Chains A and B, each alone.
Chain A
Amino acid sequence: MSWFPAPGIARRVRLGWVDLLVFAAVLLMLLAVLRLGGRMALPLHDVGTISLSPAALPLYAGESLLRIFIAFLASLVFAVVYGYLAAKSPWAGRVLVPLLDILQSVPVLGFLSATLAFFAGLFPGSSLGLEIAAVFAIFTAQAWNMTFAFYHTLVTLPADLEEASHVYRLGRWSRLWYLELPSSAITLVMNSMMSFGGSWFFLAASETVTFSGRRVMLPGIGSYMALAEQRGDTPAMLAAVAVMIVLIVLVDQLFWRPIVAWSQRFKLEQTPAAEGPTSFVLTLLRRSALVEGLWRLLHPAWETLWRWFSRPPARRPAGAQSSVVWRVLFGLLGVLVLALALRTGWRLLSGIAPHEIVHVGWLGILTWLRVMAAVLLGAIWTVPVGVAIGLSPRVSRWAQPLAQIAASFPANMLFPIVVAWLLRVRAGLDIGAIPLMMLGTQWYILFNVIAGSLAIPQDLKEAGRIFGLKGLLRWRELVLPAIFPSLVTGGVTAAGGAWNASIVAEVASWQHHTLVAQGLGAYITLATARGDGSQVLLGIAVMSLFVIAMNRLVWRPLYRLAETRYHLD
């Protein structure tokens, strides 16, 4: 079948050291999941006790890793199901696509603030509710983007392959495995990788939460760092940062690289590719007789399952009627959910005075100014540096992965350190929140600029050199137009990240000092801490409006400009 090479001629029967390695890795993974999973539902009073001993760090790292992977699995399932429904059913798509657009504009930490009390209430006295809230927050950081990616490839399937699937009468099941999933594999994998990297930030943010006046820490690397910072334990802080970096690199090398390399088989171009991405782990797995043996063992079962699912659909003349029934049921469900949401929203918001709304709007403007400042300041240094790196293939080979790690690194883990410095120079958080936002978001601009300048066609660069384009003229006529599309992409991502960061950056503490900035992010954080549901909702709604307005008024026109005027090739 398509996803794995069909078991062909037996290449090897003897097991080698590779197989031992694979076996050990699988065993270790199973044990770790079982052990860590058992710790996810502890009595709440046990949770607060986090040990700063370095020996405990790997365990904490494992728990964080488990959280992020559970969230990723959920995101993947959600993306495929939601994207499929939105693309395949025109009437569902009319609701699902705009809904996704709105969900995408809600700041991720807003979801955390809004759902924390709800999930905690589901399992009183147990940490399970908080675990679910944390996983849900990470899920919201990953899912929307992945869903859009999958949806988009489903509506732009290659026309000739679609016709071929029709002529050869592939059923839904066969179409999914032969046409739809393979066509979207590369986009889905790349998007998953980016979303996964971006979600470390939310992992760290969701492990230490304050709600209803209580500060709760879930065991994990984020809370370890938070506690170390609270106590001012420098060695523990350094250890946490080091382990975090190791974690990011390991996940990249052991998980993403093999998947990216494997997904190259789903390239649509018919030309033999030049050097594609490779992965030593994938090569290892491919050479393992154990993996091959396992596949051989599972193949008949898969084959049976396949035939069961893809059996030709029975003639059902009543098909039209049943679809009407479904439509009515689905519509009723939608109306019910909408009514419930409106009622809750109304109950929460009806108690809010009009001047409160004006106040929140003003706070929104303040935060908006910070977001813009963070993006612009970030661009000022990352554009020249990124171009310098991108134009030199030698430098970019090592600098690009570094920029990617920096973008994945949860910057909020470092916030208290910056706050300590702010305290020393006696600067407030009103300005200080800007560098905090930049800490996490500027890397998006950097690696997009690097990618953009790497992609400047050689002939354009040569033409520039021949006609003696130098200095400012070279920047204006060659470099800036060529990297413009990537710059816009980087800017959008950075601005989105900055909005999210505002929720944790406008209230920040170092040991016993807490700084608060005037802004919408602080408003949401403080309201969550007090457990004031209506204020949380109001804050999130206003922030989402700001994000939507920015997207419509600034980023979309820029995107259009990038696509029409500055599109290379």
Chain B
Amino acid sequence: MLEPLIVAEHIDKIYEMPGGGGKQVLRGIDLAVREGEVLAVLGPSGSGKSTLLRIIAGLVAPTRGRITYHGAMAQRGGNGVAMVFQSFALFPWLTVQENVELGLKAQGLIEAERHERALRVIDMIGLDGFEGAYPKELSGGMRQRVGFARALVVDPDVLLMDEPFSALDVLTAENLRRDLLELWLERRIPTRAVVIVTHSIEEAVYLAVRAIVLSRDPAEVRAEVAITLPHWRDREDRRFAQIVDQIYSLLTQRAGEKETAQGRRRPEPIPAVRSGALNGLVELLEDAPREDIYRLGEELQFDVDDLLPIVEGLELLGLAKVHEGDIELTPQGRRYAGANLLERKEIFRTQALERCPALAQIERVLVQKSNGRMNREFFVDAMEQSYGVEEAERQVDTLIEWGRYAEIFAYDQESRQLYLERDEAQPGAAPSGD
């Protein structure tokens, strides 16, 4: 086997927290990018897969571990890596051609050579005729073509792509994906390897020869899946679906209780979903007692990232259960689906207080206080040790939303206080309409 182009060894990334301590996003990641492969990095949202890509690109420094560049690539020199961004990252004040020439200009090439190379790539990527246009005049698909042209024109050894198709609509994305794959398969670009970060399993299985599946909080390599199907791949193919299913179950595998970086055990965070989304999914499942989650996502045009938290939420509340990639309402959940608005709140309240310790804890705190009020910061601070500031804020936001919906407590945005709605009038507790 050929020598890998890029090797990442034991990569750790810890972000410093303002209040001391740190949030670990990557732990002990080992990874090699090999000559001639398309490598997909998959993981749930917020798992740090984009951070990993940025570490490979040299944009972010790892806390521990190292990245080595082999082969013809000099360390952070030569024509090492190029990157395609999810948001395109085009300079709006430059024309298509000027955007494409940017990297060449930074290398100090003379004008004639820049023009010649840029025009060749623009031609190849199908942007002919748009050289003088500004990005804002282009559609999303055309803009990302500029992003690709800008990356390919510097003849990178490794092309890094950060969710390159996820800001595009389905048809445009498919079109661009095919064009790119064609360039790659027909060896019309000198690029020696491609790394693509994505949350779309199907995209990974369609493009890559190898997929790395990351876990979350912190991200570790959970599995490596070889995708040996020959190109071009057929999505209707049974083997294609099998691989998608295999990765799907790897992704949905729940890790249960995990140890934090400090070695303390902590409860699994509650998924950040609003009660409205939970209600919506229950209603959808009412008519179809057992659904394949993957198919459900396709029907709703939801990404894994959108759908999984809702599924997890229903599971946490005991309204649904997941079995081998299928989701099904529990008897409780079926009762919930048939109930009216007030009854639903009652069921939600019982389930939540029973199965979500944090919510029960908040209620206990509020009941114990003589005035039934408590500052929001108190709960954020309490959770901060387990989750870090950012996640703690998100947790409290979600808990407040659930608590408000279930009428366990109320929340006053102005004073940032949670309070019990007792029958007697609350002094100074006149929440505004919003």
Contacts and interface: CB of A to CB of B under 8 A. Distances in A.
B412 to A, nearest CB: 13
A265 interface: yes
B129 to A, nearest CB: 14
Q: Interface size class for chain A?
A: 20 to 34
Interface string B255-272: 000000000000000000
A178 B102 contact: yes
Contacts of B85: 160, 163-164
Interface string A174-193: 10001100100100000000
A99 interface: no
Contact of A270 (B59, B103, B105, B143): B143
Contacts of A90: none
Interface stretch (A307-315, A393-401, A512-520): A307-315
B170 interface: no
A180 to B, nearest CB: 12
Interface stretch (B131-139, B187-195, B210-218, B231-239): B131-139
Interface stretch (B63-71, B87-95, B348-356): B87-95
Nearest to A173: B106
Interface string A154-181: 0000001101101111110010001100
B165 to A, nearest CB: 16
Interface in B52-92: 54, 57-59, 81-83, 85, 87-92
A303 B111 contact: yes
A168 B81 contact: no
Interface in A463-506: none
Interface stretch (A1-9, A35-43, A285-293, A540-548): A1-9
Q: Interface size class for chain B?
A: 20 to 34
Contacts of A530: none
Contacts of B92: 266-270
Ranked 4 nearest A-B pairs via Cβ: A168-B103, A160-B89, A164-B89, A167-B83
Interface of A: 1-2, 6, 8, 160-161, 163-164, 166-171, 174, 178-179, 182, 185, 265-273, 303, 306-307, 310-312
B428 interface: no
A288 B88 CA distance: 35
25 contacts: A2-B94, A6-B98, A163-B59, A163-B83, A163-B85, A164-B83, A164-B85, A164-B89, A168-B102, A168-B103, A169-B103, A170-B102, A174-B106, A178-B91, A178-B94, A182-B93, A266-B93, A267-B136, A272-B136, A303-B111, A307-B110, A310-B106, A310-B108, A311-B108, A312-B108
A1 B98 contact: yes
Contacts of A312: 106-108
A1 B54 CA distance: 29
A167 B91 CA distance: 14
Given A160-B89, A163-B59, A310-B106, 7 more contacts: A163-B54, A166-B58, A268-B92, A270-B92, A272-B137, A303-B111, A312-B108
B150 interface: yes
B219 interface: no
Contacts of A1: 98
Interface in B30-55: 54
Given A163-B85, A164-B89, A170 B59 contact: no
A1 B102 CA distance: 10
A434 B189 CA distance: 74
Nearest to B434: A565
A307 B105 CA distance: 8
A476 to B, nearest CB: 14
A168 B154 contact: yes
A307 B95 CA distance: 20
Contacts of A310: 105-106, 108
A501 to B, nearest CB: 37
Interface string B123-153: 0000000001011110000010000001000
Given A170-B102, A310-B108, A179 B91 contact: yes
